[in-house]
Amino acid sequence: MTGDNRQKNIAIEVARGEEALREAEALLHASMPTGAVSRAYFAAFHFARALLLTVGEETRTHRGLVQLLHRDLVREGKLDANVASLLSQLQRFRQDADYSAEIVFTEELAKREVDAARVFIAAARELLATDRSAAG
């Protein structure tokens, strides 16, 4: 992947993440907590994909995303382990939201998950800005 192509793909992932975050917030405000939980995960998911692109990695699975994030960013000291663990938490709740009919999500829980996505995304934005500065 060329540098230009990598930057283009990072920008696409960031745009998708920002859109998913807006969707999560809209669903939260519309009292649709289950959808908000799902979209909060995907907001963080796209930012995590963008982060992996900065180190030349891509993944096709959600599980692989978490593993590579820890291997390439947490172990290298670029991303705080507590922040990275938010992605795993978001992923677990997203699976329940999308596939488990017996679990009912409250607005309070959905707000916590949207806030967790915001924390993850803020850290990702900081790393992405640092990567652009180093590349530039």
- Predicted confidence at residue 79, as pLDDT, reads 96
User: In the chain, what are the domain boundaries?
Assistant: 3-135
- Predicted confidence at residue 133, as pLDDT, reads 55
- Predicted confidence at residue 54, as pLDDT, reads 94
Would you call 55 exposed, middle or buried from its count of C-beta atoms within 10 A (0-12, 13-18, 19+)?
Answer: middle
User: What does the pLDDT look like over 33-57, one tens digit per residue?
Assistant: 999 999 999 999 999 999 999 999 9
Q: Which residues of the chain have pLDDT under 50?
A: 136
Q: What is the pTM of this model?
A: 0.92
As assigned by CATH, the class of the 3-135 domain is: mainly alpha
- Predicted confidence at residue 131, as pLDDT, reads 77
- Predicted confidence at residue 136, as pLDDT, reads 46
- Predicted confidence at residue 60, as pLDDT, reads 83
Q: Tokens at residue 48, please?
A: 């995590």
* Helix pair angle (81-99, 62-69), 10° resolution: 170
